[in-house]
Structure 1
């Protein structure tokens, strides 16, 4: 019985770790399709804020995720410096609500 509990514990720990690692992994096809890295980097400001800066500013702000998802899809005014966020169509093609959600959750988990 103890051996089964240990195995269950190890399995649960590995599952939790895999979920955490997956959440941190870049959704590469979406990032490439939307040309995110033309303006953003993971950890340093470039033409736009880094993903870490965005996460630090918005991670615990109620309603921030839907606002960022909308901005990813439709574009929006500049909140950082002078450069506005271009719409998805201007960056690489349409972006579904589900894909915008995936990108925003990835950024907020930086």
Structure 2
């Protein structure tokens, strides 16, 4: 799979001191095959795969009406990180907190 964008962060378990690297990767968009999904497609409907390296989380696909919307939805990693922030603290590679407190 070819990835077109990635974000590298550091993370630790909530309140922990040990940080590890996390990489979120976004694949290039692909046209969705009707046999692979349970919603109607039109030959333009596209998806992007989001891969999470470093955490015990599975990758997933996000879908859009076209490739531009698929990339836009997949690149918005804030909701994913906010959901995971119940368990983890996230930091930029510089050590600064990812989320403003």
* Same-fold status (TM-score > 0.5): no
Higher helix residue share? 1
Higher strand residue share? 2
Shorter-normalised TM range? under 0.3
Greater radius of gyration (CA): 1
